[in-house]
Structure 1
Amino acid sequence: MSRPSATPLRVPAGALSPATPPGRRAALALAAILAVGAVVGIVFGLWPRLDLAVTSLVWDEARRFFPYTYTQALQTIRDVNDGLVRAVAVAAGVVLILWLAAPRVAAARLPRALSLRAAAFVLATLAVAPGLIINGILKPHGGRPRPIEVTQFGGTLDFVPWWSPFGRCDSNCSFASGEMSSAMWLLSVAVLLPARWRPLGVAAVLAWALAVGGVRIAMGGHFTSDVLMSAVLTALTVWVLHALILRPGRAA
């Protein structure tokens, strides 16, 4: 009589290499943000003419203007970004109001991910990053002229590096990019996705933000360092507020 064959032990995928714990992921994300910020800040700080070199690629010297300024496809990207940001902000506001006005209804009807803390986190990042830091402090007081305003590209003002406070722009200045910040703000939604979808959501937001930032460079609205540093500042704000609002009291 033959012996029955033993059933092979099946080990779930990933059991031998457990997923990175949340604290570790948070630390890695912070390290990546700071590393990108340091590289961008140092490179464009030590070699500021890199900004001019990149912008010159989209400048028509013969006709003395930025030919992509009035391209409809690029304007459509700006419009879509504006509409997307408004829609997400309104949705987060509705969720927040529902939790405050009718918490029992919110608890019974809303998905678990749409918590009061989640809505507050999304709106807080919008208020702090694109709102306060970029459009409230840096753009009104940074003083950096936009590409279309500097003498190298047909304007009347002197070019200054991203870190310089001595530019002669009076308001709505080049550093940093408000539209790039609003696009990167969508990271606050991506990090709320279920764990299996979160990397895809973050990658999609980064790709979208690069598209929006590229549009602003192509149109002569911002230098490359304006766009990249705006992305870094916004991502850092999302990280900090995520730790303060969604992970209070936990070591990050």
Structure 2
Amino acid sequence: MVLLWPELDLWVAQQFYEERGTFPAGDWVWVHATYVWAPRIGMAITLCALVVIAARWIQPIRVLRGVWRKSLAWLLVVVLGVGLLVHEGLKNQVGRPRPAHTISMGGDAPFIPALHSSHLCQRNCSFVSGHAAIGFCIMTLGLWSAPAARRRWWILGTLAGTLIGLGRIMQGGHFLSDVVFSLVAIWGTNLLIRQVWLHWRLHQLKRTRNFVTLIAPARHR
């Protein structure tokens, strides 16, 4: 929808815009709280994950396998999805001005549709939402779970990222498409990591099966 109708981005942002470049909803308590606390909570989870990984390396038997796998999944998605893809690959390269910087909302930059690059913003630009990406990362905690649990974590992560993303839209910090493609980036990173892991596990199982096949005849000699 945001690609077929780029003006939808402007229309949604303008619902929260007031005159003279102000976005009053940005001062709402929950909106400000999500803006401030989303990165802090994301960092706290990342630090906890690092501690779990270190503890697993030092004393493997003291760390539950499920906790270790969730921690590893979180670190992988944060580094590859949020760090490399969202921030370095998109926010610092695409150059899309934020809603508050556009001419129609009190700024001096033209509106740039989603997936169009520009030189109007140099770093930490609008496309895509880094705050929303942190919320979407919650789906990562179900990366290596059973299908039912994976779906629950996906729903929880999608809701968290959408709520945080809505807050950023209300502040004039992001367009709707910035949030949508933030979900695509994090979800895609999850799918890629899981696919690589599944291929690696299949390779390991084949090697084990081949090894058992080789030593089985020797046992019967």
Q: Is the pair's TM-score, using the shorter chain for normalization, greater than 0.5?
A: yes
- What is the Cα deviation at residue 114 of structure 1? 2.5
Query: AA paired with 1:141?
Result: Q
Distance 2:31 2:91 in 1: 22
How many pairs does the alignment contain?
A: 203
Distance 1:70 1:242 in 2: 39
- What is the Cα deviation at residue 60 of structure 1? 1.6
- The share of aligned pairs that are identical, in percent, is 27
Larger Rg: 1
Distance 1:91 1:247 in 2: 28
Are the equivalent residues in 2 in contact too, given 1:118–1:246 (CA < 8 A)? no
Distance 1:82 1:216 in 2: 13
Query: AA paired with 2:60?
Result: A
Are the equivalent residues in 2 in contact too, given 1:121–1:242 (CA < 8 A)? no
Query: AA paired with 1:46?
Result: L
Verify: 1:225 aligned to 2:177, yes or no.
Answer: yes
Q: Give the TM-score of the pair, scaled to structure 1.
A: 0.73
Partner of 2:32: 75
Q: Give the TM-score of the pair, scaled to structure 2.
A: 0.83
Compared CA separation, residues 87 and 120, structure 1 to 2 (3 A): same
Verify: 1:106 aligned to 2:60, yes or no.
Answer: yes
Are the equivalent residues in 2 in contact too, given 1:160–1:167 (CA < 8 A)? no
Are the equivalent residues in 2 in contact too, given 1:159–1:167 (CA < 8 A)? no
Are the equivalent residues in 1 in contact too, given 2:103–2:109 (CA < 8 A)? yes
Partner of 2:9: 51
Verify: 1:183 aligned to 2:138, yes or no.
Answer: no
Partner residue of 1:248 out of 184, 200, 204: 200
- What is the Cα deviation at residue 66 of structure 1? 0.8
- What is the Cα deviation at residue 171 of structure 1? 1.8
Compared CA separation, residues 156 and 194, structure 1 to 2 (3 A): same
Are the equivalent residues in 1 in contact too, given 2:95–2:120 (CA < 8 A)? yes
Could you list the per-position Cα deviations for residues 99-131 of structure 1 after superposition, in whole angstroms to 9, with x for gaps in the alignment? Answer: 22x2xx322x2222123x543332111001110
Instruction: Please report the RMSD computed on the Cα atoms of aligned residues, expressed in angstroms.
Output: 2.1
Partner of 1:22: none
Compared CA separation, residues 44 and 95, structure 1 to 2 (3 A): same
Gaps of 5+ in 2: 204-221
**What does 1:37-186 align with in structure 2 at a 5 Å threshold?**
43-61=1-19, 64-100=21-57, 102=58, 105-107=59-61, 109-115=62-68, 118-186=70-138
Q: Structure 1 or 2: larger helix share?
A: 2
Distance 1:152 1:183 in 2: 29
- What is the Cα deviation at residue 177 of structure 1? 0.6
Gaps of 5+ in 1: 1-42
